[in-house]
Amino acid sequence: MRVAFLHLPRFPVQRRRPLLGRPAAPEAEPPLALVHAVRGVQRVAFASAHASAQGVRGGMALTAARALVPALVDLPYDPAEEGRALASVAEGLLVLAPAYMPSPPDGLWLDASAAPLFGGEAGLLRRALSHLLGLGLRARGAVASELFTARALARFGGGRVTVVSPGGSAEALALLPLQALEEVESPVHASLGAFGLRTLGEVARLVPAQVGVRLGTRGLRAIALARGGDDARFLPAPLPEQIEEARTLDAPAEALEPLLFVLKGMVDALCARLRGRSRAALRLTLTLLLEPDGPREVPLVLARPSNVPRLLLDLLRSRLEDLRLPAPVATVVLGVKTWCQDPGQQRVLGALPEGDAGLESVLARLATALGPEALSSPRAAEDHRPEAARSSAPFQPPVAEQGVHAEARRASAPRPAPDARSAERPVRLLPRPAPLPVDLGPVGELRSARLFGRPRAVLGLAGPERLSGQWWTRGPFARDYYRVHFEGLGPTWIFRDARDGRFYLHGFFD
């Protein structure tokens, strides 16, 4: 089996770098250390390159590190949270690979069997590194037939992209330093160093029987690894059921901008995870943990399924702009409540990469603000009762035709055939029929009616059209509809109800 390893050097530090702001120059970046408590003492777990250059090392006490670098910025380190963050990044890579296996705290293996889809194994690695760079993460990658070989080459090989052909592992590993055997326990590692060995090639040339006598099975395993004989198996990580991103802010946010800054990273990660699973979100929930008021939920409803970060971020921005919060925000959780499969869309020649992003964005914004029931596409229902013939359906317009061929298709688009029956219906129907005071002649003919505050004579009349039905229900109806032209108005639609003999105004041919 071919596996790829992606090494993200100092991943816990890298993923926090955006939170510190963008420095004017790399050397102006503040020195950063992640610290955790070890036996009651705050010790450095990870240090940024800038801090490392000034002598800060992992395991050093925070006080000692501060003595070395007074400007050191320290942030808490939580291995569980880092593990979740690494899994989130790995899920985003599922667009390139069918499965992943984490290697905390700063690496992950990918099943490289889908490499032919991306131009080979080197192409797969380049796509993965490009994806990670889009998330603000630098990485190195290697593909090999064994887990150890891929990992050692990605971490210690030096190259950004390394591909080892099957059977060439021992040769590829030969020049790597002895530190690549970090998987083997440190006493064995130290002993090998004490023997004067410096590279894995030298380890591979040892006689197993002699090493077995001196170092036991661990020594034999070290030789096997150095010879490219790793037999560890790739165990795909199970995907969490819930697609959710959470961030705890370093300082509670009182303004919109810092919140949006955090949300940007969360939305990017969430959408990458959705795309990795070929899913699109339909309904999301943003939970803001306020200090000290507690959680506040903000539902987000999308009119159409989407996994586009820009759309979700626009939607979040418009929702948060209208929100008045009584307390600052300490923690943000963004979760997908409802999702569907995302089949993707094939672009055509000349199509714009953003597609109909404007439409998606406005549909989502309106659906969130007005509710999905306020948005639809009009439909005529097959019902004789006029008010029941008004129906609606979800707005799902044809996919916007783009590209150079769309112009030609527009010119030849067939025109819909006119519908004779719909010509007899008014364009405006009152929500409820309004009683119409009428003046009838001596033999019952309609002479005038009181409309909009004054009596209006009948100038013309057409009908009746008798509509009746539902006699088998508790709400039968029988109406004679007329198109009546009143003085000072255009054509109106009125009916005489057979139940009470009264006239009602029901619509306008406006």
Partner 1 sequence: MDAARVNAETLERLRARIQALQAAPRAHLAVLRTGVEAVDALLPAGGFPLGEVVELWGSPASGRTRLALRVVAEAHRALRLAAYVDGPGELYPPALAALGVEAGRLFWVRPGASFQGSWAALQLLRSGAFACVVLDLTHTGQRLAPAAAKRLHDAAARAGGLLLLLTPEEAPGEGSLRLLTTAGPHGMHVEVVRSRQGMRARAADVPWEALGPWGPPSRASCLLDPFGQSGPVPAPLPPSLQRPRTSEVRNGLCGIQGQRPGRDLALPALGSPLGLKG
Q: Which stretch binds partner 1 (CB under 8 A): 90-98, 258-266, 332-340, 492-500?
A: 492-500
Min. distance of Cβ 15 from partner 1 in angstroms? 34
Q: Is 71 exposed, middle or buried (0-12, 13-18, 19+ CB in 10 A)?
A: exposed
Among 39, 326, 452, 453, binds partner 1 (CB under 8 A): 452
Of 251, 460, 472, 474, the residue at the interface with partner 1 (CB under 8 A) is 460
Among 444, 453, 472, 474, contact with partner 1 (rule: CB under 8 A): 444
End-to-end CA gap in the chain: 71
> Which of these segments, 20-28, 260-268, 325-333, 353-361, binds partner 1 (CB under 8 A)?
353-361
Q: CA–CA distance from 426 to each of 77, 374, 422, 446, 484 (Å)? A: 68, 22, 8, 20, 11
**Cα–Cα distance for residue pair 43/64, rounded to 1 Å:** 9
Residue list 310-349, contact with partner 1 (CB under 8 A):
349
Minimum CB separation from partner 1 for residue 317, in Å?
Answer: 13
Between 290 and 489, whose beta carbon lies closer to partner 1?
489
Closest of 303, 238, 309, 240 to residue 270, by C-alpha: 309
Q: How far is the CB of 310 from partner 1 (least distance, A)?
A: 13
Query: Of 230, 220, 227, whose CA–CA distance to 171 is shortest?
Result: 227
**Residue 410 is a binding residue for partner 1 (CB under 8 A):** yes
Considering only residues 466-485, where is the footprint of partner 1 by CB under 8 A? 466-468, 471, 476-478, 480, 482-483, 485
Under a CB-based contact definition with an 8 Å cutoff, are residues 436 and 451 in contact? yes
Instruction: Tell me: does residue 392 bind partner 1 (CB under 8 A).
Output: yes
Q: How far is CA 249 from CA 6, 312, 466, in A?
A: 28, 20, 68
Which residue in the set 133, 190, 380, 434 belongs to the binding site for partner 1 (CB under 8 A)?
380
Q: Based on the shown chain and the rule CB under 8 A, indicate whether residue 277 belongs to the binding site for partner 1.
A: no
427 binds partner 1 (CB under 8 A): yes
> What gap in Å lies between CA 463 and CA 506, rounded to an integer?
14
Q: For residue 428, state whether it binds partner 1 (rule: CB under 8 A).
A: yes
How many chain residues touch partner 1 (CB under 8 A)?
A: 93
**407 contributes a contact to partner 1 by CB under 8 A:** yes
Residue 433 is a binding residue for partner 1 (CB under 8 A): no
Interaction of residue 401 with partner 1, rule CB under 8 A? yes
**CA distance linking residue 167 with residue 145, whole number of Å:** 8
The residues with which 482 forms a beta bridge, in sequence order, are: 494
Nearer to partner 1, 341 or 377 (CB): 377
Measure the CA–CA gap between 63 and 45, rounded to whole angstroms. 13
- For the beta carbon of residue 11, count every other beta carbon within 10 angstroms: 23
Among 22, 26, 423, 453, indicate the residue that binds partner 1 (CB under 8 A). 423
